A and B are shown apart, each in its own frame.
Chain A
Amino acid sequence: MALRSISRRFGSRVLSYRSSSVASLHSHATSFGFQQVKEEEKSKLVGNVFTNVASSYDIMNDVMSGGLHRLWKERLVGKLSPFAGMKHLDVAGGTGDVAFRIFDAVNSVKRRALRKVDEDSLEETQIYVCDINPNMLNVGKQRAAERGLGDNKALVWVEGDAEALSFDDNSMDGYTIAFGIRNVTHIEKALAEAYRVLKRGGRFLCLELSHVDIPVFKDVYDLYSFKVIPNLGELIAGDRESYQYLVESVRRFPPQEKFATMIADAGFEKVEYENLVGGVVAIHSAIKL
């Protein structure tokens, strides 16, 4: 298709720019969008992307998804079914979208009214927001302050790597990763870490852009991804390359079934996924037993 050749040409132009790193490729190469890069490079490159986009991340999300990303995150939190006293970890949750929703769900008036006098509810809810990029965390902390949650002990902002979490084994009731796992260099490691930190009965939920198979819609989606989004990135965030990386990384991410298999391989049970908007986004869920 004409689109693909255009994107390939663009990709190859960027490839020649980074030829120095590509020239010394050895067997441990990974993908950075449609490019092949060394593994050590990937996290740095991703870091650069998110440093660049941090300030306009939320606006771009709204524009790119037409506001739909809010509904997707609502659905994610709904599926999680948060409860008072839970210890939750939101990985790659930089600007805090998911974390705020979980906080609201736990502290909503209805829940407080229903809370019976129970010894266990005296346990404090703790929501940890972990992100590898300090810029994203700063934006998140700012947003928390705007909401009046700046000093709230329930929200804890931690800088960390999804592949090497600093949390104890069996310490978390829930683990979510929204639009973050495709940026991880070694997905299996991130899944293994998720398995490690979750308690028995804890749930793993992953919200991620995924693969569309519906015939006509697929082409519309591809057109939108490769034509419209990088241009929007340039217009609004002033950064075409980062958003080009974004749409390419979505294509490189394993499809729903494959990812579900990877989750199962990490040891999780009851692995399921739900497609939203025909596969544009998928929520994978699993339990650790």
Chain B
Amino acid sequence: MFRTAARRLLGAGFTTSRLLRLPKPRPTTIIPYSYCTSSTESPIGNQSVNPNQSDTAREEGHRRDESSRKPRAEFEEEQARVLAASLRHVPRLGWTEEAMIAGSRDVGVSPSIVGSFSRKEAALVEYFMDDCLQLLIDRVDSGLDLQNLIPSERVSKLVSIRLEMQIPYMSKWPQALSIQAHPVNVPTSFKQRAMLVDEIWHTVGDGASDLDWYVKRTVLGGVYSTTEIYMLTDDSPAEYRDTWAFLDDRVKDAFDLKKSIQEAKYFAQDIGAGVGKSFQGLMNGVMQTMSTRGGRSSAF
């Protein structure tokens, strides 16, 4: 499901002006939310049942995808090929048109094709993000062992796998982040991150619904972004050891946050009850004094 959604993102930039020579638009009914509702059918607390159910749901989703997915137009294939070739030049040339021109020469296509990408450098960054998401899904599908880990450790592991994919490009990653932050590019980059976070939570075995679903994704989004930024300035030995420690701490905080919110809720209730009782007592006292005083005065 995410694969077609990811491919759809690649196509999103091409629909701004009217297009011919394109197969009929793919059905766009597949969204992250629908995925979640299928997995909420399993009881929330039951961890062992969850993965099985989600697997069958995903299989079904895939079968649906195969039948509904139309072949990609030739120019989309060509553009994807150019972008893939361009990635090899990014560590040297950055996320720029020059990298894309070099990539197009590698594929054997005129560099003019770079002009046909709607937002040039952003197209390259977005392609990379989609590619990484796809690799993550493949990694998970091909049997990543998460059974023996508690949820917070699962989240840590998935986030670290995803962030490791950026290591080859780390010298130019700040540029990619700034490209993603451009107002024009924000909608797409936000969507990609939302999908990533959703995928991670789903793999972890999330059984949330309604408000909790949003809270979880927002919190994980925050954890992911802060770790990503921390990684930019991390030059600890042994492959970013400090970053992973930072990540583990943040994930623990996030999980603790949930407990803290619960505790805060109970605390507030208690206080409310206490204050209410004492206020009532106060009022009773006041009424009593007033009535006795009143009584005394009436005796005059």
Q: Are B97 and A201 in contact (CB under 8 A)?
A: no
Chain A positions within 8 Å of B, measured between CB atoms, are: 79-83, 86, 114, 116, 118, 120, 173-174, 198-203, 257, 260-261, 264, 268-274, 285, 287, 289
Interfacial residues, chain B to chain A (CB-CB below 8 A): 14, 17-21, 73-75, 78, 93, 96-98, 101-102, 104-105, 108-116, 120
In contact, A203 and B18 (Cβ under 8 angstroms): no
Contact partners of A81 in chain B: CB under 8 A: 97, 112, 114-115, 120
CB distance from A45 to the nearest CB of B (A): 32
Report the Cα distance A289→B17, complex, angstroms: 20
Which residue of chain B lies nearest to A79 when distances are taken between CB atoms in the complex?
Answer: B115
Partner of A269, one of B17, B21, B101, B108: B21
CB-defined contacts of B17 to chain A, threshold 8 Å? 272-274
Closest to B108 in A: A200
Q: Which residue of A lies closest to B104 (CB)?
A: A201
Q: Are B19 and A271 in contact (CB under 8 A)?
A: yes
CB distance from A96 to the nearest CB of B (A): 20
Q: Which residue on A lies nearest to B116, using beta carbons?
A: A287
Inter-subunit contact A287/B75 (CB<8 Å): yes
> Using Cβ atoms and an 8 Å threshold, which residues of chain B touch A285?
116
Can you report 22 A-B residue pairs in the complex whose CB atoms are below 8 A from each other?
Answer: A80-B115, A81-B114, A83-B101, A83-B111, A83-B112, A83-B114, A86-B111, A114-B98, A118-B98, A198-B110, A201-B78, A201-B111, A202-B112, A203-B112, A203-B115, A268-B21, A270-B75, A271-B19, A271-B21, A272-B17, A285-B116, A289-B74
Docked complex Cα distance between A57 and B204 (Å)? 69
Return the chain A residue nearest B111 by Cβ.
Answer: A83
Could you say which residues of chain B place their CB within 8 Å of the CB of A271? 19-21
The complex places the Cα of A204 from the Cα of B76 at a distance, in Å, of: 17
Contacts of B93 in A (CB 8 A): 116
Could you tell me the distance in whole angstroms from the C-beta of B234 to the nearest C-beta in chain A? 28
Q: In the complex, A80 Cα to B110 Cα: how many Å?
A: 13
Query: Ordered nearest first, which 7 A-B pairs have the shortest CB separation?
Result: A81-B115, A201-B109, A201-B110, A201-B113, A199-B110, A269-B75, A270-B75
B21 contacts A202, C-beta separation under 8 Å: no
Central interface residue in B14, B75, B96, by most chain A CB within 10 Å: B75
CA distance A120 to B111 in the complex (A): 11
Residues of A within 8 A of B104 (CB): 201
In the bound assembly, the distance between CA atoms of A203 and B109 in angstroms comes to 11
Which listed residue (B74, B98, B109, B111) contacts A116, Cβ 8 A?
B98
Roughly how many angstroms separate A273 CA and B97 CA in the complex, as a whole number? 23
Bound together, the chains give a CA A114 to CA B75 distance in angstroms of 28
Task: Tell me which residues across on chain A come within 8 A of B98, comparing CB atoms.
Answer: 114, 116, 118
- B75 contacts A173, CB within 8 Å? no
